[in-house]
Amino acid sequence: MTEVYFNYIYSAIQYGSLIMIALGNFLMLVRVLTSRDQLQEATERQKNGQRRMVKMVLVIVASLYLCWIPFMVSSNVVGYFVNRAALPPKWLMIVYDFTRGMPLYNTFLDPLIYIWQIHKCRNAIIKLSKTADPDMSCEAASGQAHRREIETHFPSTYSGY
């Protein structure tokens, strides 16, 4: 039963998900390429924005595949050995152990890609880091902000809680 699940359900869901992602991105690429007539009428700024968006999506999808494919392949190969009641080779187990963390690397990479590709996101992060007071903890900052809000809305009832 385990072999049936592994071969027909687990693998189908894993690779089916990646195929769906690839299909969606392929359809998006086709849409962008077929809208070249609209791009000719667009301003240069709109063309640059669309190119940056396509580039960002392609980088995100590439990082997704580079992080997930090694894990999926190594887990399927190790699963093949386990289902056959055979001990996988040591080098394969090392590869499997290394690739187990790769999906987490993708989770870490996505926000970095957004910060790298989107100027507004990068500026917001820079602004946030400049306005943060390193001497004030989050709890103290939120408490002071809450007290100021109460003082401004209810100045006569504020009792200095």
pLDDT at 151 over 80: no
Q: Whole-angstrom Cα distance, residue 132 to residue 138?
A: 10
Average pLDDT in the chain: 76
- Contacts of residues 8-11 at CB distance under 8 Å and 24 or more positions apart, as own/partner, are 10/79, 11/76
Higher pLDDT among residues 118 and 7, named by residue? 118
Please, what's the b/e burial string for 76-103 (b: 16 or more CB within 10 A of its CB; e: otherwise)? Answer: eebbeeeeeeeebeeeeeebbeebeebe
Percentage of the residues of the chain whose pLDDT score is greater than 70? 73
Q: Given pLDDT bands bounded at 50, 70 and 90, which one contains residue 161?
A: very low
108-132 average pLDDT score: 81
CA atoms of 100 and 94, how far apart (whole Å): 10
Q: What's the rounded Cα separation, in Å, for the pair 64 and 21? A: 10
Structure tokens at 37: 């007539």
Number of H helices, E strands in the chain: 8, 0
pLDDT in tens, 70-104: 988 888 888 888 777 788 889 988 898 889 888 88
